[in-house]
C-alpha cells in the first residue's frame, strides 16, 4: 500500500502529538456541493450512487479537491446492512429512507441472516478499494457503520420516525426479540467493518444517531452493550498500523465516560456539550471529535472563526482532538463557509499544540 503522506487524523485519534488539530466534516461529501448534486442527477438516485464503486469514489474525493481536509470518509449509507438483509430499502423525496419489509416480531427477526460483506455488500468493499487506490496516500480513509440500535430503529419503524413507538414497543414488550435483533446486527457490523478494514479503511466509526432517545438504563442495555461488542470484535491492526475506532452517540454527552470504557480510541461529541467538559468526563483516556453546531456555517466567516476559536480554547492545550461538526453539514450551507471553517482550524489550532 502507498505510504500515508498526512497521518494527522490517525495520530490525533491515538492521542499522539500533532502540529495542529486535524479536521474533517461529517457528510463532507454531499448535497451542499454543486458537483455532488450534478453527479447524483446523472446517477438517477442516491442508492445508484452508493452501489457504483466508481461513482462512490468520485463523491468521496470531491470535498478533498475543494478543501484541505485531513481525512476522507467512504461515501455510503448507514442502512446498507438492513438493505442486504432483504428489507427492501428505498428513498422517497422529502421523506428519507423507507423499508418495504420492516421487522416487528420474533419470527421476522429469526428469519434475518447476517450478510456476507464480500457478497451482498461487495459494492461497498469495491468502493473502499477504489477510493484507497485513488487517494494515493494523501489522507487516510474512514470506514463506517450505523450502530445496532440505530439500524434497528429504522428496521422496526420501517423508516424515519419522530416518536420511536414501534421500536420502543418491541424493546419494552419483547426485550428478548429486541436483543436477538441487536445481536445479529452487532455480528453484521463486526463483519462489515472488518471487511472495510481488510479492503483498505484506515480508521472506522460507528454512528449511533438515535442512542440519545433512550433513558440512561436503556441506553446501556440496548445501545452501548452492542457497541462494546463491536469494539471488542474489530480488527485493530492493519498494514503495520493501529486502526482507530470512534464511537458517536448523538445527544450522548451524559454517557461519554461509559463509552470510553468500551476500549474505543475516540468519541464523537455533538454541540450540546462543552468540549472542555467532555474532555474532563473522559479524563483524557480517549480522543474527542467535534463539536461545532453545523448551523454556525450559516453565519459570516468571521463568526465561524470566532466559534472555532471558542471550541479550541474549550478543549485546551494538548493532543487528542479532531475538529469536526457536531453532526452532518446541512445541505443549504455555502461551500465557501465550509472552507472558512476549515481555514480557521488550520489558522488557530497550532497554538494549542506547542
Q: Residue 334 pLDDT more than 70?
A: yes
Name the pLDDT band for 1 (thresholds 50, 70, 90).
Answer: low
Annotated catalytic residue 258: no
Residue 310 is assigned to a ligand binding site: no
Residue 62 is assigned to a ligand binding site: no
Residue 101 is assigned to a ligand binding site: no
Q: Which of 77, 83, 265, 270 is catalytic?
A: 77
Q: Which three cell numbers stand for residue 291?
A: 463539536
How, if at all, do strands 72-73 and 141-146 pair?
A: parallel
Domain range annotation of the chain = 8-353
Q: Which of 9, 32, 36, 154 is catalytic?
A: 154
pLDDT, one tens digit per residue, over 43-55 is 988 889 999 999 9
Residue 195 is assigned to a ligand binding site: no
CATH number of 8-353: 3.20.20.210
Q: What is the rounded CA–CA span in Å between residue 145 and residue 197? A: 12
The label of the residue with cell 498526512 reads 6
Among residues 343, 243, 276, 332, which one has the least CA distance to residue 10?
243
What is the average pLDDT score of the chain?
96
Q: Which three cell numbers stand for residue 244?
A: 482507530
The CA-CA-CA angle for residues 142, 332, 70, to 5°, reads 25
Q: Quick one: average pLDDT of 12-22?
A: 98
Q: What are the angstrom distances between the C-alpha of 318 and each of 259, 274, 277, 279? A: 21, 17, 15, 11
Q: What is the rounded CA–CA span in Å between residue 326 and residue 289? A: 8
Yes or no: say if 58 and 50 are a contact pair by the CB < 8 Å rule.
no
* pLDDT at residue 49 in the model: 93
Q: Which of 15, 20, 27, 132 is catalytic?
A: 27
For residue 160, say if its preceding peptide bond is cis, omega within 30 degrees of 0: no
Q: What are the angstrom distances between the C-alpha of 20 and each of 71, 122, 173, 293? A: 14, 37, 50, 21
pLDDT, one tens digit per residue, over 232-244 is 999 999 999 999 9
Amino acid at each position: 500500500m502507498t505510504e500515508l503522506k498526512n497521518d494527522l487524523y490517525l495520530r490525533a485519534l491515538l492521542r499522539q502529538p500533532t502540529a495542529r488539530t486535524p479536521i474533517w466534516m461529517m457528510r463532507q461529501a454531499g448535497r451542499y456541493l454543486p458537483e455532488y448534486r450534478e453527479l447524483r442527477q446523472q446517477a438517477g438516485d442516491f442508492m445508484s450512487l452508493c452501489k457504483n464503486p466508481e461513482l462512490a469514489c468520485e463523491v468521496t474525493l470531491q470535498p478533498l479537491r475543494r478543501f484541505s481536509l485531513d481525512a476522507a470518509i467512504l461515501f455510503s449509507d448507514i442502512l446498507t446492512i438492513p438493505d442486504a438483509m432483504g428489507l427492501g430499502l428505498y428513498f422517497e423525496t422529502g421523506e428519507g429512507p423507507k423499508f418495504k419489509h420492516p421487522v416487528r416480531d420474533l419470527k421476522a427477526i429469526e428469519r434475518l441472516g447476517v450478510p456476507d460483506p464480500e457478497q451482498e455488500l461487495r459494492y461497498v468493499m469495491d468502493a473502499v478499494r477504489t477510493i484507497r487506490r485513488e487517494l494515493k496516500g494523501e489522507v487516510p480513509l474512514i470506514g463506517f457503520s450505523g450502530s445496532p440500535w440505530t439500524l434497528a430503529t429504522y428496521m422496526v419503524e420501517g423508516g424515519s420516525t419522530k416518536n420511536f413507538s414501534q421500536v420502543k414497543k418491541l424493546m419494552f414488550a419483547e426485550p428478548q426479540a429486541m436483543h436477538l435483533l441487536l445481536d445479529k446486527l452487532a455480528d453484521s457490523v463486526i463483519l462489515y467493518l472488518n471487511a472495510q478494514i481488510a479492503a483498505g479503511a484506515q480508521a472506522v466509526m460507528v454512528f449511533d444517531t438515535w442512542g440519545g432517545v433512550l433513558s440512561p438504563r436503556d441506553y446501556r442495555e440496548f445501545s452501548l452493550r452492542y457497541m462494546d461488542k463491536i469494539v471488542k470484535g474489530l480488527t485493530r491492526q492493519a498494514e503495520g498500523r493501529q486502526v482507530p475506532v470512534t464511537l458517536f452517540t448523538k445527544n450522548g454527552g451524559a454517557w461519554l465516560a461509559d463509552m470510553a470504557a468500551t476500549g474505543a480510541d475516540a468519541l464523537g461529541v455533538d454541540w450540546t456539550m462543552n468540549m472542555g467538559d467532555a474532555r474532563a468526563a473522559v479524563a483524557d483516556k480517549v480522543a474527542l471529535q467535534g463539536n461545532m453546531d453545523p448551523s454556525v456555517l450559516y453565519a459570516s466567516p468571521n463568526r465561524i472563526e470566532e466559534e472555532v476559536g471558542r471550541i479550541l480554547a474549550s478543549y485546551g492545550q494538548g493532543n487528542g482532538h479532531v475538529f469536526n461538526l457536531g453532526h452532518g453539514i446541512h445541505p443549504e450551507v455555502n461551500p465557501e463557509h465550509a472552507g472558512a471553517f476549515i481555514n480557521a482550524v488550520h489558522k488557530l489550532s497550532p497554538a494549542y499544540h506547542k
